[in-house]
Amino acid sequence: MNNVNINDLMTLLAAVDIAVKRGTYSILEIRQVGEVAEKLNAFLTEATAAAQAADEAAKAAEGTEATAEGTEATAEGTEATAEGAEVTETPEAPVEQA
């Protein structure tokens, strides 16, 4: 099965633009070509924005999930330390200033 993706449609729109600039279409055909090109451009704009929003949401979800996992691991480590014999504090590492 051949799948058409956003990049394919962008290439198609660019090809139509080049064809129009080179005078491939007659004056009677150009209106229809322009209308379809405008629809395709609007679709690509919306699809690109939706894809970017989905990517950002997925990255945010991954970050939230990783943070939650880190918190859970820290809580488990604290619980294990509390069960151990003696807890000693470790000195903080020096902070490098720029």
Give the residue extent of every domain in the chain.
Answer: 27-70
Q: What is the pLDDT of residue 32?
A: 95
Q: What is the mean pLDDT of each run of 10 residues along the chain (98 residues)?
A: 89 96 94 96 96 93 70 50 42 45
Nearest residue to 9 (alpha-carbon basis) of 59, 51, 56, 54? 51
The Cα–Cα gap between 1 and 13 comes to: 23
User: Which residues, 6 or more positions from 37, have their beta carbon under 8 angstroms from its beta carbon?
Assistant: 13, 16, 17, 20
Instruction: Enter the pTM of the model.
Output: 0.57
Is the backbone of residue 23 left (phi > 0), alpha (psi -120 to 50) or beta?
left
Q: What is the pLDDT of residue 62?
A: 86
